[in-house]
Amino acid sequence: MHQVHLRLNFPVSLIHRPQLAVSNVRVGRYEGHARDFKKYFRPMRLIGTALAAFAAMFFGWLNVRRDRKVILSFVLFVSGICFWVYAIAGWINWRLGM
């Protein structure tokens, strides 16, 4: 048998030797447990909120430091902090399962 070596010098036959067993296990159409899986997926709205809040904080802080549109930039910075706290609190609640 021809041995092809990978860059880590492992022979391919050693890595691919274990084969998966063929099974015919299926899940029925019962969707009663589907709600249980929701707690394992991250809520995308919190990720989007956290990214938008970080961008608002960055843009607000950058403009406050450069003395450009100070009032608007400060309001943007503070609102970014509020949305960041909202996203982190929501993430903690999701993570703890509350």
What is the residue range of 64's domain?
A: 43-98
State how far the Cα of 28 lies from the Cα of 51, in Å rounded to an integer.
39
Residue entry with tokens 């099974």: 23
Query: What's the predicted TM-score (pTM) here?
Result: 0.56
Q: Which two tokens mark 13?
A: 């036959």
Instruction: Please give the pLDDT value at position 64.
Output: 87
Residue 63, in any domain of the structure: yes
Q: How many domains does the chain have?
A: 1
Instruction: Give backbone dihedrals phi and psi of 54, rounded to 5 degrees, phi first.
Output: -65, -40
Residue 24, in any domain of the structure: no
Asked if residue 8 has pLDDT above 80, the reply is no
CA dihedral angle for residue 77, residue 83, residue 85, residue 87, rounded to 10 degrees: -140
Residue 58, in any domain of the structure: yes
pLDDT tier for residue 59 given thresholds of 50, 70 and 90: very high
Instruction: Please give the pLDDT value at position 18.
Output: 61
